[in-house]
Amino acid sequence: MASKMLGFVHLGREMPVKRPAAGRRRDFREIYPRYDVDQAGKQAGRCSQCGVPFCQVHCPVHNNIPDWLKLAAEGRLEEAYEVSSATNNFPEICGRICPQDRLCEGNCVIEQAGHGTVTIGAIERFITDTAWEKGWVKPAKPRRELDRSVGIIGAGPAGLSAAEELRRRGYRVTVYDRHDRVGGLMIYGIPNFKLEKEVVLRRAGLLAEAGVRFQLKTEIGRDLSFAELRRNHDALLIACGVYKAREMQAPGSGLPGILPALDYLTASNRSSLGDEVPGLRNGSLSAKGKHVVVIGGGDTAMDCVRTAVRQGARSVKCLYRRDRANMPGSQREVAYAEEEGVEFVFLAQPEAFLGEGRVSGLLAQRIHLGLADATGRQAPQPIEASRFRLEADLAIKALGFDPEDLPQRFASPDLGVTGWGTVRIDHATSMTSLPGVFAAGDIVRGAALVVWAIRDGRDAAERIHAYLTGQAASVGIAAE
């Protein structure tokens, strides 16, 4: 392996050899194989070890990226894993699904200088997959057990990262989740070609080995009351994510054949896990042989279009009301979708769904981008007399997610929420308006990246520990 850094002056950026689009269209396997040892070392050695590591600055968990790149370049992979995992509970997952082009790699100094970014994500995945194979990944073992318990609502990335950090400190931790598997959207929302499910399930197994208890198929407010949960634990963390699909008001939106993105993706992912899915068997949740239109431009929309390709759709189109430069998701995912045969219809939005008894098409209208709104993004403006029709046997709405009404669901009207319905917290303590009740992840910040959920979960665990040991004020914020 390479022993010196600054390799970018003589070595170009090189990813593992990507599987050809024609082959990957037919299965749900990940599209990149893993680096071999020599290739990983050489690519890690391209790091410039710059004085101000912008890759680290722009990483939500502030991974010590230059440090573990140097260790990987020197062949010290176990140490590289120790440094990587010190700030990230799921480095092999982030190495696969983080939009590195928008975060660490997009801000790499040598990328800005025109040499091509260091392949941080692929190297992170290589280091951690190697650590699993070599047996270096160990369950969190506390130095001593504490007679305090913490309940966590939600087995997604925020809840799991908090659970591991609290267990490491010796707390008794129980994670409650409505689903039958641990992982949240990492299991049911993200397709295998981005994140194979075994990668998530082995982490869940490690947490169980560490002593984290999971109570699955348990919906708080239905199977177990929120009040009872508060009585059972010394502190509580709400990390249930946001799952309610955003709706669009358009004629014909209730026609059969129009699906929320998560229903569609969950069916596909359950099938890959070996579950029997009636909607796939009868075709209602399958794209096979159909003209598919996905509405939206984020990563969830890219997951849907690429899933439809693999299910054997006759055609797949993505309808997005802004242009490519304004797409909120990863540009890499857009490029992968294009390689796999997805057609993008930019600057267009649906006006109505067409069909008799079942959707058969969409009536759409052309858009131009006007003046920037309060967020700095150009506002989409319809163009008069520009309507056109798209054929669609299956229409999938990937418009984002909103939080459920938690005060109502938990029968806890004193739980403060924002105007968007997210849980209101004191950002210095992560505490809600209810003493001893904390919140983290998407249920606080809105639908966001897995890596942000990991960061929020780690922060919440530290603040729960401070609360339980009397190091922080025990008052929350006022409900509104």
Pick the closest to residue 94 from 59, 121, 115 (CA basis). 121
Predicted confidence at residue 379, as pLDDT, reads 87
Concatenated DSSP letters of 100-129? TTTTTGGG-HHHHTTS----HHHHHHHHHH
Contact 102, 330 (CB under 8 A): yes
Query: What are the pLDDT digits (tens) for 104-140?
Result: 999 999 999 899 999 999 999 999 999 999 999 999 9
- 7-134: in CATH 1.10.1060.10: yes
Burial class (CB in 10 A: 0-12, 13-18, 19+), 279: middle
Burial class (CB in 10 A: 0-12, 13-18, 19+), 12: exposed
Q: What is the residue type of 217?
A: K
Tell me the domain boundaries of the chain: 7-134, 149-242+403-468, 247-397
Ramachandran category for residue 296: left, alpha or beta (phi over 0 → left; psi -120 to 50 → alpha): left
Average pLDDT score over residue span 330-335: 94
What distances in angstroms separate CA 372 from CA 241, 264, 325, 329, 375, one per listed residue? Answer: 30, 33, 14, 19, 7
Predicted confidence at residue 477, as pLDDT, reads 54
CATH fold match for the domains 149-242+403-468 and 247-397:
yes
The alpha helices in 282-330, defined as continuous H runs, are 299-310
First-to-last CA distance in the chain? Answer: 58
Average pLDDT score over residue span 321-341: 94
Predicted confidence at residue 289, as pLDDT, reads 97
Query: Cα(327)–Cα(299) distance, rounded to whole angstroms?
Result: 9
CA 362 from centroid of its chain's CA atoms: 29
Report residue 394 as tokens.
């299956």
Q: Which CATH class is domain 149-242+403-468?
A: alpha beta
- Percentage above 70 pLDDT, the chain: 98
Tell me the pairing of strands 348-354 and 361-372. antiparallel
3-state secondary structure of 48: coil
pLDDT category, 48, cuts 50, 70, 90?
very high
Ramachandran category for residue 72: left, alpha or beta (phi over 0 → left; psi -120 to 50 → alpha): alpha
**Angle (deg, nearest 10), helices 120-134 and 37-44:** 140
Query: What are the pLDDT digits (tens) for 420-449?
Result: 999 999 999 999 999 999 999 999 999 999
Query: Cα(353)–Cα(254) distance, rounded to whole angstroms?
Result: 9
Contact 316, 304 (CB under 8 A): no
Question: Does the pLDDT of residue 213 top 50, yes or no?
Answer: yes
Which letter does DSSP use for residue 20 in this model? P
- Percentage above 90 pLDDT, the chain: 92
pLDDT category, 371, cuts 50, 70, 90?
confident
Tell me the pairing of strands 172-176 and 149-153. parallel
Pick the closest to residue 87 from 124, 113, 33 (CA basis). 124
Predicted confidence at residue 378, as pLDDT, reads 87
Concatenated DSSP letters of 339-371? HTTPEEE-SEEEEEEE-SSS--EEEEEEEEEEE
3-state secondary structure of 270: helix
Query: What are the pLDDT digits (tens) for 391-421?
Result: 999 999 999 999 999 999 999 999 999 999 9
Report residue 86 as tokens.
């010190």
Query: Cα(398)–Cα(178) distance, rounded to whole angstroms?
Result: 22
Mean confidence (pLDDT) of the chain: 95
Tell me the pairing of strands 244-245 and 235-238. unpaired
CATH number of 247-397: 3.50.50.60
Query: What are the pLDDT digits (tens) for 264-282?
Result: 999 999 999 999 999 999 9
SS (H, E, C) 429-451: CCECCCCCEEECCHHHHCCCCHH
